[in-house]
């Protein structure tokens, strides 16, 4: 089974946590792909340059100056730091952004009520599945950053959750795929303050009950909606878990 594992910025921001996660990731058996976001480094660099990061509803507005900085961090410093540490852990990793090998081609998000700037959306044709299949068949582990590009060669800042989900669906035609979202909680919990309240499995019917009873709400709903869409599109399973449990069964399985 191919495992596609996405890590968020919270892990990337902490050097020790990232190193521990990459050691654990190196022990994941079989073919695997790591997808990562960018962490706080890009925002800190923007502020050092006198540019205030612009966010609307948690989404980054990416003008040209911001694009240059986030590309340098996501596809450069962050991606190569991860690849270097995986090499130390005996994983033959290769860093990938959208243009590399025509890996992931996006579409610049159209302007509706908000102009997000140079932000990419993906569709069912975005992923070059044969390219990823070739890397995996040759024993390489792709490490994919949150930068894609469009048909005009324009780089685009693209949500890492969206990239991992689109990759999972595209590659499910070539492999049995498990998609794993790693973040700083054990999984989906009835009470976010109580780790003993972890929900180990959620199917569609139980999800509707959890929403109706407002046990899951706010930021978790888009994640779960996305997980069920991915499963409906052919991905075998989706897990949401703490980064430290990437190699364990502790977490929430979406089925």
Q: Known binding site for substrate: residues?
A: 38-39, 60, 157
Q: What is the 3-state secondary structure (H, E, C) of the chain?
A: CEEEEEECHHHHHCHHHHHHHHHHHHCCCCCEEEEECCCCHHHHHHHHCCCCCCEECCEECECHHHHHHHHHHHHHHHHHHHHHHHHHCCCCEEEECCCHHHCEECEECCCCCCCCECEEECCCCCECHHHHHHHHHCCCEEEECCEEECCCCCEEECCHHHHHHHHHHHHCCCCCEEEEEEECCCCCECCCCCHHHECCEECHHHHHHHHHCCCCCCCHHHHHHHHHHHHHCCCCEEEEEEHHHCCCCCCEEEC
Residues annotated within a binding site: 38-39, 60, 157
Query: Which residues contact residue 21 at a Cβ distance below 8 angstroms, ignoring those fewer than 6 apart?
Result: 7, 11, 182, 243, 244, 246
């Amino acid at each position: 089974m191919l495992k596609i594992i996405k890590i968020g910025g919270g892990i990337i921001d902490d050097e020790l946590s990232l190193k521990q996660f990459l050691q654990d990731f190196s022990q994941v058996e079989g073919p695997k792909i790591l997808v990562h976001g960018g962490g706080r480094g890009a925002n800190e660099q923007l502020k050092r340059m006198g540019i205030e990061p612009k966010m609307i509803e948690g989404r980054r507005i990416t003008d040209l100056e911001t694009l240059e900085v986030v590309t340098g961090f996501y596809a450069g410093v962050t991606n190569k730091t991860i690849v270097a540490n995986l090499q130390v852990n005996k994983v033959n990793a290769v860093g990938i952004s959208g243009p590399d090998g025509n890996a992931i081609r996006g579409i610049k998000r159209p302007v509706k009520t908000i102009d997000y700037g140079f932000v990419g959306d993906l569709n069912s044709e975005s992923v070059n599945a044969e390219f990823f299949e070739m890397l995996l068949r040759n024993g390489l582990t792709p490490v994919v950053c949150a930068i894609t590009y469009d048909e005009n060669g324009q780089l685009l800042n693209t949500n890492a959750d969206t990239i991992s989900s689109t990759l999972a669906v595209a590659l499910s035609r070539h492999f049995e795929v498990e998609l794993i979202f790693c973040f700083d909680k054990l999984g989906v919990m009835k009470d976010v303050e109580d780790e003993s309240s972890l929900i180990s499995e959620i199917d569609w019917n139980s999800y509707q009950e959890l929403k109706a009873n407002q046990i899951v709400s706010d930021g978790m709903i888009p994640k779960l909606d996305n997980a069920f869409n991915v499963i409906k599109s052919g991905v075998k399973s989706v897990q949401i878990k703490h980064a430290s449990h990437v190699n364990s069964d502790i977490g929430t399985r979406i089925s």
